[in-house]
Amino acid sequence: MFSQAIDPKKFETFVEINNLINKTDHDDFQVLLTTILESAMRLVGGEASSLLLAERESQKLSFEIALGCRGPEIRRFSPGPHDGIAGRVAERGMSLIVNEGEKDGEFFSALSGQMGFPAVSIAVAPLITKDRTIGVVEIINKKGGGRFSQEDLDWLEVFAAQSALAIRNMQSFQNAREEIGILRDQVASKTGFHTFIGISEAIKEKIAIAKKVAASDSSVLILGESGVGKELFAELIHLHSQRRAGPFVRVNCSALPEGLLESELFGHVKGAFTDATSMRRGRFELAGGGTIFLDEIGDISLTLQAKLLRVLQHKVFERVGSADPVSADVRIVAATNKDIEKEVEKGSFRSDLYYRLNVLPLYVPPLRQRPEDIMELANFFLKKFNQEVNKKIKGFSEAATQQMFTYSWPGNVRELENAIERAVVMARDDVIRQEDLLLPVGRGNTGDNYSGKTFKEAVQCFKKYFLAETLKAHKWNQTETAKTLGIQRTYLTKLVKELEINK
């Protein structure tokens, strides 16, 4: 490498560029590789450049980045694993210069025909990590109509080595981050708490309210449709409260008949009923010093409501079959999917209990009113079920994504989780397709996703989804995305920042 003396100006430029690369955010794969490729093109002096990666199994090359005046056209030219100059370099793992098109006439004529401009010279270097070629970096057409020199190829090899190292480091970083995420989720599941996923403004607002509510020791009533994640908010309140070191006890009030539910909540003494062969502590005692979460509280009987009211008012209760009071040092967080005010009007829910529970109300919006969370949740569930069924599904097809975004999700997050689990099992390749989701036809309504939003909020929501999907389709290359959308790249960058669109 560098058979001749190094040009001092080029070396200074190289050091300057290297410092820029080191300051680039390594969490953004595309930005880092684009910076490296731009630097290589600047030093070598080419009209266009691209970086291609090889699929691990088939070794087929596909464009990761294409830059320069003909970058978008170059992306449409896809060589086979052994075709053309790029394919041969990837196969042999050796750099190559071709300065005269007629030496590889078939390749150059195809390239020129697809790009619509004459391609007469090319310099290509392999991307090698350890003992494997993972792709190539290429510069097309020396500026000013000149010829690529050996020194040009030497510089290109330097940047190819940096690109390969960046790819390896990024892949290691992403693998480590994914493993940490899996471990975090496993720890959360073992402790009984769920991972909270949500990026929409609607959900961020509710999280902020829940954290404020947590500072108090007052009872909380969480309202919302079935499957929206009320239990997760109950967990959040407990984990941010002064009782977080204490137990968090969950009770599904609709899962047990009245007689068993009373015993489950308050416990019983020996001989209280036929099967009471010994004294048993109830959930309120087990939750001592912590929080008890009463889910589906709208389903309990009026008799049990009266006993629950006494706990709220006097902090005491009696075990079934006993008249001895037991102290209740516990915070109550309740939840229901019913319209509790209508239940009060009908007389099926005590008004005094409602007012006691409703000291700090919290309403969780349905999934259709926060569509920004749909793909965030879908990707989370995809990782979860990939691990459980030992699959490596990479993502969702465009049609599947569109259906998930437009479907109304009457079962909310729970229905979405079930749909992704089913799709992971059904998927036949490494992408989940629309037919894998098995969602009911005709129940989706795009308009439902914007109900409850102002016009401005709905427009912002659509912008964020539309831009994120377009960026994804162009592998997060903002220059190409801006061209496709017909807007300036600077304006796109501004929108990405304002809408908080993350890769």
Q: Domain range spanning residue 449?
A: 368-498
DSSP state of 463: H
| 18 lies in some domain | yes
Write out the DSSP string of 271-329: TSSTT--S-EE-HHHHTTTSEEEEETGGGS-HHHHHHHHHHHHHSEEE-BT---EEE--
| 332 lies in some domain | yes
Shared domain for 133 and 21, answered yes or no, is yes
Contact by Cβ (8 Å): 467, 440: no
Where are any strands of DSSP class E within 106-258?
122-129, 132-142, 220-223, 248-252
Shared domain for 218 and 343, answered yes or no, is yes
Q: According to the model, what pLDDT value does residue 447 have?
A: 45
Shared domain for 168 and 311, answered yes or no, is no
| 423 lies in some domain | yes
Residues 6+ apart with CB under 8 A from 113: none
Shared domain for 458 and 346, answered yes or no, is no
Looking at residue 265, which CATH number applies to its domain?
3.40.50.300
Burial of 390 (0-12, 13-18, 19+ CB in 10 A): exposed
CA distance 462 to 459: 5
Shared domain for 360 and 377, answered yes or no, is no
* C-alpha to C-alpha distances, 431 to 37, 257, 373, 397, 413, nearest whole angstrom: 29, 44, 20, 6, 21
Residues 6+ apart with CB under 8 A from 386: 392, 393, 424
pLDDT digits (tens, 9 = 90+) for 152-171: 888 888 888 877 887 777 77
Shared domain for 361 and 373, answered yes or no, is no
Looking at residue 423, which CATH number applies to its domain?
1.10.8.60
Where is 394: in which H helix or E strand?
A: none
CA distance 40 to 121: 16
pTM, 2 dp: 0.58
Q: What is the mean pLDDT of each run of 10 residues along the chain (503 residues)?
A: 65 70 61 78 84 76 72 53 72 85 52 58 87 85 85 86 79 64 51 79 92 93 94 94 93 85 89 81 92 94 93 91 90 94 94 92 91 90 89 87 87 94 90 90 52 63 75 80 78 81 74
Shared domain for 346 and 395, answered yes or no, is no
Phi, psi dihedrals of residue 50, rounded to the nearest 5°: -155, 160
Number of helices (H), then strands (E), belonging to the chain: the values are: 20, 16
CA distance 205 to 176: 31
Where is 358: in which H helix or E strand?
A: none
Site of tokens 């190559």:
96
pLDDT digits (tens, 9 = 90+) for 190-239: 456 788 888 888 899 999 999 999 999 999 999 999 999 999 999 999 99
Looking at 143, 176, 209, the residue that finishes a domain is 176
CA distance 276 to 269: 7
Shared domain for 29 and 114, answered yes or no, is yes
